């Protein structure tokens, strides 16, 4: 199942990392990796613009393979949106139950 906008594993009001997430710049073509990122990355905070961008990426690339990455920029900061398997262990009604495709957003710098 593909979800737009509610795969976030932390509350939106939290400054903690984001697992789903408007930008004035366009997403570049995705890159695909078959495993986790090669180097440790810092997760981005769940801000409304980042959440909107992640939603946009899921909507415009519904067939993107797990591991696909989409670089983008918001307010001069660079990010990487990565298609990953997400889960809903708490049964949040705003997200699909069980494993599902979602976007995790990392800082690119």
With CA atoms as reference, report the closest residue to 80 among 35, 15, 18: 18
**Residue ranges of the chain with pLDDT lower than 70?**
1-38
22, two tokens: 């408007």
Q: Is residue 71 part of a domain?
A: yes
Give pLDDT, residue 47: 95
* 101 within 8 A of 1, measured Cβ to Cβ: yes
Model confidence over 79-91: pLDDT tens digits? 999 999 999 889 8
70: which strand partners? 81
Q: Is residue 68 part of a domain?
A: yes
Q: Is residue 3 part of a domain?
A: no
Give pLDDT, residue 31: 54
Q: Is residue 17 part of a domain?
A: no
Q: What stretch of H or E contains 12?
A: none
* 49 within 8 A of 18, measured Cβ to Cβ: no
Q: Is residue 102 part of a domain?
A: yes
Model confidence over 25-43: pLDDT tens digits? 444 455 555 455 567 889 9
Q: Is residue 50 part of a domain?
A: yes
Q: Is residue 4 part of a domain?
A: no
Question: Where in the sequence is the domain holding 56, given as residue range(s)?
Answer: 31-107
Q: Is residue 91 part of a domain?
A: yes
Tally the domains of the chain.
1
CA distance 100 to 97: 8
């Amino acid at each position: 199942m593909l979800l737009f906008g509610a795969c976030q594993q932390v509350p939106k009001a939290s400054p903690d990392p984001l697992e789903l997430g408007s930008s004035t710049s366009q997403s570049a073509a995705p890159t695909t990796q078959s495993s986790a990122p090669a180097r440790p990355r810092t997760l981005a905070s769940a801000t409304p613009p980042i959440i909107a961008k992640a939603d946009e990426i899921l909507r415009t690339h519904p067939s993107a393979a797990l591991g696909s990455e989409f670089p983008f920029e918001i307010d001069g900061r660079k990010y990487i949106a990565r298609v990953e398997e997400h889960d809903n262990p708490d049964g949040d009604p705003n997200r699909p139950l069980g494993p599902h495709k979602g976007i995790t957003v990392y800082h690119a710098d």
